[in-house]
Amino acid sequence: MTMSLDGAEGDLGQGSGFVVALDGFTGPLDLLLHLVRDEQIDIADIHVARIAEQFLKAIHALGLNQAADYLEMAGRLIRLKAQMLLPRRFDDEFWEDPRTELVRRLLEYQQVKEIAVWMSRQAERRAQRYARGVLPPPPSALPPLPLSLDLLDLLLAVEQVIAEIPSPMLHSVVARPLDVESATLRLEALLADRTEFDWREALGNHPSIVDVLSTLLAILELAKRGLCRIQQTAPFGNLVVARELVDAAVAAP
Amino acid sequence: MSSLTPLSLLLEAGLFSATRPLTLEELGALDADSSSAEVRTALDQLREHYDFDGHAVEVLELAGGWQILTRPAYAAAIERAQAAQRQPRLSAATLESLATIAYRQPVGRAEIEEIRGVNSGGVLRTLQERGLIEVVGRSEGLGRPMLYGTTPYFLELLGLNDLSDLPRAEELTIALQPHRAEADPADGDAFASVEQG
């Protein structure tokens, strides 16, 4: 089964833009002609009841019973079948064969198909000859041809599009709790060693922002407990951590 | 080896440089001093020159003009070497619509759909996009629908000189064949059909 999707039809299309071409049939007349030929009977002598039944069976089998053009033809055939069943008098001069219109259309359509075949051969023959460069392009710049694809192409395209959607950006937040305890230990060790020092000495090598914050909190905690004093000699100057004198006095008996 | 006249050589240069058929007027513009009769004679001379002196190309009358094209014998090699690109084939639905338009032009969409028994909007758009048909007017009927006709490019694609080269309606054989007719490019005959009983 092939499906040709004709999108927006612009000024040409007011009807449905969805054209279904199945198993090589270009329309209901094509299918009907095919059935008549299979019967090997003269078009003018078409057996309506049988052809109508075959037509319905065929469009059902091909899944065409959804396509408007085929349904319309099915309706015509059923009406024609009913008309053929109506009783008539033998001497009815005004009786008109209800099949006339259908036969005329079928013959006309058959002629169109015959010309189409002739044209196809003709184009094929012409295509055997090449002009300089490529074949002359159609006049003026033209929009691309309407989309024509089968179900597999469509599914592949959908898969491709889905694959190209970037997965949402996820930031994993890692909890990095402040390590005030070890900062306090470092400070106490320094205080035990010296009477005062630059607070930055307590940071260690390559301090991270967490180390800086931990150390600051540790200094404030020690100051609050009265274990050290914080001095700043100038605005925005360095903080100097000094051993608390009271503490020193207590420590020194 | 026949020697070409200066006018024939001029026409050869003009035809060689063109990528489409050139009309008699266009060819005449190559030499203002030559009459159209002289151009025609020179064209014949050029054509004979290609035919008799053994050339891979020939001068052909197409779509109301003349064009230099390669001979069919070289098509397979050209395609194999991808020296030139083949035009995409027309689908059966496209050909049916094109056939209807070619014979009924100027013709509206409704009539085409009545004959084909199927919605033809998409097909008509394709034909228009490929430059094979064009809007040639509007009907006087309700809604003044657009009427379509074939373009010179249609003749070019089919290798016809003008619309009278299409088979006449009475030449067509409406035949009841056991199998669906299919295009057979190898078949030289326009129609191989069974007479209707």
The per-residue pLDDT for range B98-133, each reduced to its tens digit, is: 999 998 888 999 999 988 888 888 899 999 999 999
Name the pLDDT band for A17 (thresholds 50, 70, 90): very low
If you average pLDDT over residues A198-209, what whole number do you get?
82
Out of A31-40, A57-66, A227-236, least confident range = A57-66
Higher per-residue confidence, A23 vs A241: A241
- C-alpha separations of A248 from A196, A221, A240, A252 in Å: 12, 18, 17, 6
Q: What is the pTM of this model?
A: 0.58
Name the pLDDT band for A22 (thresholds 50, 70, 90): low
What is the model's pLDDT at position A142? Answer: 62
If you average pLDDT over residues B17-31, what whole number do you get?
89
Q: What is the DSSP string of B89-141?
A: PPPHHHHHHHHHHHHH-SEEHHHHHHHHTS--HHHHHHHHHTTSEEEEEE-SS
Q: Does the pLDDT value for residue A63 go beyond 80?
A: no
Across the interface, whether the CB atoms of A116 and B96 are under 8 A apart is answered: yes
Q: Does the pLDDT value for residue A192 go beyond 50?
A: yes
Number of other CB atoms surrounding residue B63 within 10 Å: 22
Q: Are A19 and B126 in contact (CB under 8 A)?
A: no
Q: Does the pLDDT value for residue B151 go beyond 90?
A: yes
Between A37, A112, A130, which is nearest B180 by CB? A37
| 3-state SS, residue B64 | coil
- What was the ipTM of the complex prediction? 0.77
Across the interface, whether the CB atoms of B96 and A26 are under 8 A apart is answered: yes
Higher per-residue confidence, A126 vs B188: A126
Chain B residues whose CB is inside 8 A of the A64 CB are none
Out of A42-46, A110-114, B34-38, B185-189, least confident range = B185-189
Backbone angles phi, psi at B32, to 5 degrees: -65, -20
| Closest chain A C-alpha to B135 CA, distance in angstroms | 10
| Closest chain B C-alpha to A65 CA, distance in angstroms | 14
| 3-state SS, residue A230 | strand
If you average pLDDT over residues A184-204, what whole number do you get?
85
A 135-194 residues with CB < 8 A to B: 135-136, 138-140, 142-143, 145-146
Closest CA to A34 of A16, A22, A19, A17: A22
Q: Are A228 and A243 in contact (CB under 8 A)?
A: yes
> Locate tokens 């007479």: which residue?
B195
Q: Are A26 and A15 in contact (CB under 8 A)?
A: no
If you average pLDDT over residues B27-34, what whole number do you get?
89
What is the model's pLDDT at position A14? Answer: 37
Closest CA to A9 of B54, B120, B105, B85: B120
Chain A residues whose CB is inside 8 A of the B16 CB are 132
Return d(Cα B139, Cα B47) in angstroms, integer: 43
Across the interface, whether the CB atoms of A115 and B119 are under 8 A apart is answered: no
Q: Does the pLDDT value for residue A164 go beyond 90?
A: no
Across the interface, whether the CB atoms of A130 and B129 are under 8 A apart is answered: no
Closest CA to A105 of B103, B112, B115: B115
B169, burial (CB in 10 Å: exposed 0-12, middle 13-18, buried 19+): exposed
Across the interface, whether the CB atoms of A130 and B96 are under 8 A apart is answered: no
Give the helix/strand (H/E) hosting A155. helix A151-164
Mode of pairing for the β-strands spanning A18-21 and A2-5: antiparallel
Number of other CB atoms surrounding residue A94 within 10 Å: 5
- C-alpha separations of A245 from A61, A109, B20, B27, B103 in Å: 103, 115, 106, 115, 116
Higher per-residue confidence, A61 vs B10: B10
Q: Are B180 and A37 in contact (CB under 8 A)?
A: yes
Contact of A66 with chain B, judged by CB distance below 8 Å, is answered with no
